Structure 1
Amino acid sequence: MANKRNLKKAIKAACGDLAGECLIARDLVPGIDRKKMTDIFFDIADLQYVSIDNVSFSFDKTEKSFDSRHEYKKARAKYYKTAYKKLNDDFKKGVDDIIARMNSSLGEQQKAANKARAEK
């Protein structure tokens, strides 16, 4: 489990890279749907904002709620593991959706060129 600062930096870096790819593709790839790419750019910003906002969460029970300190630590560790897994899954789902939308905004000519390049 990463600390919050590093996790937030990683989210910002990933979203920044996606946004950069969007801007480059929008401005340099011929036949791309510029309106879709601009919309995707703003969706990347939303994904970053929501993901960073969801990084901070806390275990809602106290040690007194459990019979022993061991049970408390075990429940707390399980809670954080589940919460970080959900955050990671939600972020990956958002990134996958954005990449699929980026690919769908390419023109047919560019898709054919990409496919030919991948087959080499």
Structure 2
Amino acid sequence: MFAMDAVAPKRREIAEPRFDHYEDTGCEVASTCFGCPLPRCKFDDMEWFYKYRRLGRYLHMASVIHGEGLSISEAAERFSVTQRTIFRVLNRCRDAMRELTPAEAAVFARLAA
């Protein structure tokens, strides 16, 4: 008898399929996962979701600024931030509109409102 025979791994049994119950409860974006408009699931990539949720707040701020015709100083006072932050918000919104579809931008802006 060889030493290899003594330590040979046992053949794995084929596991039965699992039939766990999965309840699709959705999240704050959609009531069900199948009805979610996002290209990725927030639970799969939380960093991605938080980045774009923050961007949604920025999009909401930008829409208020443009919709009400606020100046930079008026917007800074309205949102209780510095003027530099308003410039940052507007620049990030301009850049983000290049990478987001209008539907995605609307979803994140709706989350921020």
Larger Rg computed on CA atoms:
2
TM-score (norm 1): 0.27
Structure showing the higher helix proportion among its residues? 1
Work out which structure has the larger RCO, using CA pairs closer than 8 Å and 6 or more positions apart in sequence. Answer: 1
